[in-house]
Amino acid sequence: MSVTAAIGFSAAGVAAGIKPDALDVAVIVADAPSPTAGVFTLNQAAAAPVVLDRESLGRSALKRGIVINSGCANAATGDQGIANGVAMAGTLADQIGCERGDVLVSSTGTIGPQLPMDLVLPGIRSAASRRSPTEESATLAARAILTTDSVVKQSVVRSNGWVVGGMSKGSGMVRPNMATMLAFLTTDALVEPTVLNDILRAAVEVSFNSLNIDGCESTNDSVIAMASGASHIVPDHDEFAAAMEEVCRDLALQMAADAEGTSRVVTINLTGGADDADSRALGRTVADSALVRSSFYGGDVNWGRILGALGTSAIDIDPGRITVEYEGVVVFERGMGAGFDEAALLETIETGDFSITIDMGSGDGRARVVTTDLTPEYVAFNGERS
């Protein structure tokens, strides 16, 4: 159960025909107007749904529903794309008895084609009529938002009388500031819109914005949270922030594990930066390196590539202060390679997931960046349009 775990929400997923033989339209509906927050791509070629949602949330933070389609990104579609997004929101609004401006829209899929509205609008009506607060309906919605994903991605955290649940999609073209990913969170905690917005942004920064699968930012990525308040409980601020962060981190890890054509997840723990922002930026620089990620594929303890990547950062570094560890084994220290049992360490990281810790030795900053290896299968997978 994910987006229906919280009281006050229903969901559905249906096959409208955008994709052959697959679910491709989902709805999430709140029982009443609910505080809503969103974090969106920084890509300057943002898709029509992102443009519309930013404008909508700028007018009002109270929303009733979200309609999502997969199989077509509705990106680079001009004025017609905007009109199609408006029509999608209006169709769900008509079905649930609210204003068009009370509905947000998300799309994911191939960039360029126009949405087949003769299929999409009936699909929205069907999804709205089938929505329910059940676990099955939540899973159908989670399946309907997938594109190249191989598994659904859902997460739930329960606390003192309130719940945070979420679903996401994304398995490639994912980079800090998100990309080709969508995530939708619901909670029945009683929170003000500004609080929800601040906590969501903080949670996104340490989860989806700390995930790098292939260094590409896309046009559609969005994270949207809705708070029904149906539990009638005002949560402790820190507990609520921790729950939101936990759900986002869990979904981000599920995305990494399902990454296109990859074989392992690598967690980079960056400590000792001047502050958390610098630490995150340095970790992203390492994860951006095709050379570094190729070494991950080979299970190679190639600390030289990590040091080289760090050296390309705009942030000043002192190699003489840096320490690098693979699975707790120090391999680089104080400006030079450290002695270690290379055969034993290679055996440890030859297959499966592993972690690297990089201590910059400059401050108290900390960050965690999740990435994957770079494989021949990834190149083959992305050699064709998806």
DSSP assignment of 240-255 equals: HHHHHHHHHHHHHHHH
Q: Phi first, then psi: what are they for 366, rounded to 5°?
A: -140, 150
- Pairing mode, strands 182-187 and 222-227: parallel
Tokens at residue 378, please? 């990834």
Please tell me which residue in 77, 139, 148, 180 is annotated as part of the active site.
Answer: 180
Q: CA-CA-CA-CA torsion for 285, 290, 294, 295, nearest 10 degrees?
A: -40
- Superfamily name and number for 9-257: L-amino peptidase D-ALA esterase/amidase (3.60.70.12)
Active site residue 180: yes
Q: Phi first, then psi: what are they for 278, rounded to 5°?
A: -65, -40
- Superfamily name and number for 265-381: ArgJ beta chain, C-terminal domain (3.10.20.340)
Per-residue pLDDT of the chain (386 residues; tens, 9 = 90+): 699 999 999 999 999 999 999 999 999 999 999 999 999 988 888 999 999 999 999 999 999 999 999 999 999 999 999 999 999 999 999 999 999 999 999 999 988 999 999 999 999 999 999 999 999 999 999 999 998 888 999 999 999 999 999 999 986 544 445 556 899 999 999 999 999 999 999 999 888 887 766 555 678 989 999 999 999 999 999 999 999 999 999 998 898 878 766 778 899 999 999 999 999 899 989 988 888 988 998 888 999 999 999 999 999 999 999 999 999 999 999 889 999 998 999 888 888 899 999 999 999 999 998 888 877 776 665 555 55
Tokens at residue 347, please? 């055996």
Rounded Cα distance between 25 and 127, Å, is: 7
Domain boundaries, the chain: 9-257, 265-381
